[in-house]
C-alpha cells in the first residue's frame, strides 16, 4: 500500500473515531506485518511472554502516557476494554467504598450517560448543571455546586462533546474525590493529575483508535472495589498484574500498539519537554480561528457557550436563519471535508478538531465556513454586512473567488477588510 502521505486524504471532522496523523498511520502499517524483524505480527504474539514484544509495547505506551501527562508515581496507569461506557460503571464500582451516593455535574449527553450507568449502583445526585445566563451557556462555579459530604466522589465530563462545553482548567475540589471523563479532552492540554482521584479516556479521539480505555487512578483508592465488580472493570486487578499492569485478561494489543505510536508521534511533533503545552497552543489557535468566524458572522452562525467553557475541540453551532440553511450546509460538504457532524441530539453542526487533523484541514473548514456564509447571505451586499471576512489573506482569496464566480462584480479589498462600504449587489 502506498504511504498515506502519497494518497489523497479525506479530512475527517467527525466526533470520532478521529483522524490519525499520516506519519503515525504509516508507522503502524509499516510495523504491523513483521514486528521488529521477528517474522510475526505483534497481533499474533502472546501477552503472557514475560518481557516479550507485547509487554514491551504495553510498557512503552504506558511510559509515554506517564511522561507526556506527568503522571505522579502514586497514580496507576491501566488500559481496560469496554470504552468510556465501561468506565461509567467502573467508577462507582471501584470508588463508592462505604457510600451509596455520588455527585455528578450535568453538562450534557455524556454526563447523563455516565449518570445512567452509575444509577445501577448508587444514588446519583446532580450537584450542578449547565445553565443559560444572559443568552450564554455556562457551568456554575464550583463554589455554587451543591456538593454532599455523603457522596463518594464528584464526576465531571471533561469535554461534553454534544453541547461543546469543556472544563478548560483543572478544578480544585480539595479533599473530595474528583473523577473525570477525559475521553474527548485528553492530550489537548496539560493536566494537573493530582487534582483528580481518577480520570479515564476512551480511545478514538486524540489518544488513538478505538478499542481501549486509559485509566489513571490514585493508588490509595485501589482497595475499595465492591465485591461484585467484574474483573475486567476492576482497577486494582488491572493495576497489580505481573510483571506489568493491564494483563488481567488479553489486552487489546492493536489499540494499545497504535496508541503508543500516537503518543510517540506527539513527542516527535510537539517536543519531549512541554509536549502538551505546545499541543495546547495549537489547539487554542485552531479553535479560536473557528470561533472568530462564528462570533463575527452577525448571527449567521450561533454558538451560545460562554468563553470560559467553550470546547476547544468540539465546536458546535446552529444557524441563525431557517432550518433549510442547515440542509444546504450538509449539501455543501465536499468529498475532502467530511463529515462535519449533523448531530441530531444537539440539532446543529459540530466541527471536531482533534490532534490528528492537519492544519490544512482546519484551513479548509475555515474556508468552508466563510464561503458558505457568503453564499447563503444572498449577495455581495450581505457579505459586507455579515463581517464574515476579516483577515487580509482571506480577503484576497475571497475577492479572487468572487471575481471568478461573478465576473461582473467589483469587490474591493477595503470593503471586505474593513466592512466599510456596501458591496454592489449583483
Q: Which residues bind ligand PMP (CB under 6 A)?
A: 15-16, 83-85, 110, 157, 159, 161, 181, 183-184, 202, 204
The nearer residue to ligand PMP, 213 or 293, going by C-beta atoms, is 213
Minimum gap (Å) between residue 162 Cβ and ligand PMP: 8
The nearer residue to ligand PMP, 184 or 275, going by C-beta atoms, is 184
Q: Quick one: how far is CA 425 from the chain centroid?
A: 42
Q: Is 104 helix (H, G, I), strand (E, B) or coil?
A: strand
The nearer residue to ligand PMP, 26 or 103, going by C-beta atoms, is 103
Residue 425 in grid coordinates: 449587489
Catalytic residue of the set 27, 79, 103, 110:
110
Minimum gap (Å) between residue 82 Cβ and ligand PMP: 7
Q: How far apart are CA 104 and CA 174, in angstroms?
A: 16
- Sequence-distant (6+) residues with CB within 8 A of 306 are 133, 136, 137, 138
Catalytic residue of the set 160, 181, 341, 371:
181
The nearer residue to ligand PMP, 45 or 198, going by C-beta atoms, is 198
Catalytic residue of the set 79, 103, 170, 205:
205
Whether 205 is a known active-site residue: answer yes
The nearer residue to ligand PMP, 202 or 419, going by C-beta atoms, is 202
Identify the CA nearest to 179 among candidates 137, 235, 135, 228.
235
Q: How far apart are CA 148 and CA 296, in angstroms?
A: 42
For residue 53, the tally of other CB atoms under 10 A from its CB is: 19
Minimum gap (Å) between residue 84 Cβ and ligand PMP: 3
Residue 195 in grid coordinates: 487534582
Minimum gap (Å) between residue 20 Cβ and ligand PMP: 16
Burial class for 28, CB neighbours closer than 10 Å (0-12, 13-18, 19+): buried
Integer CA distances (angstroms), 302 to 18, 208, 319, 321, in order:
24, 31, 6, 10
Residue 292 in contact with residue 370, Cβ under 8 Å?
no
Minimum gap (Å) between residue 179 Cβ and ligand PMP: 13
Residue 18 in grid coordinates: 478521529
Minimum gap (Å) between residue 382 Cβ and ligand PMP: 36
Q: Taking CB positions, which residue lies at the least distance from ligand PMP?
A: 83
Q: How far apart are CA 290 and CA 348, in angstroms?
A: 15
Residue 253 in grid coordinates: 494489543
The nearer residue to ligand PMP, 110 or 329, going by C-beta atoms, is 110
How large is the angle between the packed helices 359-376 and 392-405, nearest 10 degrees? 50
Widest distance between CA atoms in the chain: 77
Please report the DSSP string for 365-422 in residue order. HHHHHHHHHHHHTTSHHHHHHHT---SHHHHHHHHHHHHHH-TT----HHHHHH--SP
Minimum gap (Å) between residue 357 Cβ and ligand PMP: 16
The nearer residue to ligand PMP, 83 or 140, going by C-beta atoms, is 83
Whether 110 is a known active-site residue: answer yes
The nearer residue to ligand PMP, 90 or 386, going by C-beta atoms, is 90
Q: How far apart are CA 298 and CA 386, in angstroms?
A: 5
Minimum gap (Å) between residue 241 Cβ and ligand PMP: 22
Minimum gap (Å) between residue 361 Cβ and ligand PMP: 20
The nearer residue to ligand PMP, 213 or 386, going by C-beta atoms, is 213
Q: How far apart are CA 210 and CA 255, in angstroms?
A: 7
Integer CA distances (angstroms), 200 to 67, 84, 266, in order:
17, 7, 19
Catalytic residues: 110, 181, 205
Amino acid at each position: 500500500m502506498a504511504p498515506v502521505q502519497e494518497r489523497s486524504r479525506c479530512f475527517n471532522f467527525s466526533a470520532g473515531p478521529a483522524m490519525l496523523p499520516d506519519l503515525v498511520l504509516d508507522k503502524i502499517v509499516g510495523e504491523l506485518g513483521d514486528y521488529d524483524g521477528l517474522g510475526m505480527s505483534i497481533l499474533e504474539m502472546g501477552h503472557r511472554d514475560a518481557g516479550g514484544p507485547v509487554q514491551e509495547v504495553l510498557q512503552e505506551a504506558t511510559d509515554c502516557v506517564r511522561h507526556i501527562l506527568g503522571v505522579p508515581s502514586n497514580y496507576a496507569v491501566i488500559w481496560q476494554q469496554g470504552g468510556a461506557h465501561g468506565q461509567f460503571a467502573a467508577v462507582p464500582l471501584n470508588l463508592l467504598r462505604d457510600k451509596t451516593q455520588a455527585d455528578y455535574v450535568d453538562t450534557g449527553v455524556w454526563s447523563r450517560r455516565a449518570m445512567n450507568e452509575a444509577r445501577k449502583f448508587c444514588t446519583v445526585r446532580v450537584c450542578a448543571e449547565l445553565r443559560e445566563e444572559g443568552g450564554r451557556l455556562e457551568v456554575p462555579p464550583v463554589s455554587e455546586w451543591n456538593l454532599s459530604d455523603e457522596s463518594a466522589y464528584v464526576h465531571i465530563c471533561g469535554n461534553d462533546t454534544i453541547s461543546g462545553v469543556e472544563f478548560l482548567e483543572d478544578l480544585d475540589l480539595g479533599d473530595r474525590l474528583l473523577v473525570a471523563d477525559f475521553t474527548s479532552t485528553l492530550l489537548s492540554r496539560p493536566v494537573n493529575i493530582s487534582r483528580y482521584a481518577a480520570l479515564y479516556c476512551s480511545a478514538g479521539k486524540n489518544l488513538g483508535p478505538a478499542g481501549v480505555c486509559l485509566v489513571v487512578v490514585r493508588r490509595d483508592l485501589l482497595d475499595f472495589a465492591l465485591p461484585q465488580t467484574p474483573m475486567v472493570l476492576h482497577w486494582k486487578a488491572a493495576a497489580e498484574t505481573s510483571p506489568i499492569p493491564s494483563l488481567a485478561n488479553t489486552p487489546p494489543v492493536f489499540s494499545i500498539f497504535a496508541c503508543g505510536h500516537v503518543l510517540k508521534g506527539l513527542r516527535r511533533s510537539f517536543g519531549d519537554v512541554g509536549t502538551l503545552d505546545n499541543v495546547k497552543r495549537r489547539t487554542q489557535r485552531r479553535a479560536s480561528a473557528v470561533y472568530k468566524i462564528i462570533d463575527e458572522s452577525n448571527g449567521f452562525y450561533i454558538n451560545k457557550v460562554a468563553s470560559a467553557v467553550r470546547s476547544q475541540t468540539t465546536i458546535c453551532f446552529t444557524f441563525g436563519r431557517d432550518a433549510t440553511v442547515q440542509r444546504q450546509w450538509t449539501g455543501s460538504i465536499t468529498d475532502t471535508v467530511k463529515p462535519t457532524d449533523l448531530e441530531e441530539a444537539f440539532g446543529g453542526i459540530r466541527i471536531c478538531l482533534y490532534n490528528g487533523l492537519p492544519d490544512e484541514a482546519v484551513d479548509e473548514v475555515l474556508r468552508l465556513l466563510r464561503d458558505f456564509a457568503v453564499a447563503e447571505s444572498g449577495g455581495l451586499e450581505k457579505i459586507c454586512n455579515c463581517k464574515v471576512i476579516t483577515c487580509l489573506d482571506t480577503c484576497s482569496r475571497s475577492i479572487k473567488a468572487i471575481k471568478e464566480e461573478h465576473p461582473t462584480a467589483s469587490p474591493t479589498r477595503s470593503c471586505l477588510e474593513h466592512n466599510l462600504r456596501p458591496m454592489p449587489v449583483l
